[in-house]
Amino acid sequence: MKAKRTGVKQPRKQAKPVEEKKGWKDIPIAGIIAEAGSAEKYETGSWRTFRPKRDESKCIHCLFCWVYCPDSSILLSTEGPSPKDVKMVGFDYEHCKGCGICASVCPTKCITMEKE
């Protein structure tokens, strides 16, 4: 049995400003990108269960973690003009979701995943 339409229009919900902190229910469905560069405005690090931790003594700065990170959460530093001077310096925990890809691709296993 179909519901009857009453002809009364429901008021539209007002969109929240992007600057407000969004929860998982507020982020657009199906990965819709409403505007370029908007993913940076969503702090999603609180979702994770595990966080990456790096052992600096084992890191060879191969940057595999940076290449494979789906959230661009690997922080880099440039110490000189050469591409060889680029170093991995840490993680952007505000956007890291704890997927563990960085730890799995690390050839020296200097990245481990620790429980939050």
| Extents of the domains making up the chain | 43-115
For residue 11, give the 3-state DSSP assignment. Answer: coil
**What was the pLDDT predicted at 39?**
65
Confidence class for position 36, pLDDT limits 50, 70, 90: low
**Planar angle of CA 65, 46, 88, nearest 5 degrees:** 25
- Residue at token pair 């052992």: 55
What is the pTM assigned to this prediction?
A: 0.64
| CATH number for the domain formed by residue range(s) 43-115 | 3.30.70.20
Query: Rounded mean pLDDT of 68-76?
Result: 93
Confidence class for position 109, pLDDT limits 50, 70, 90: very high
**Average pLDDT in the chain:** 81
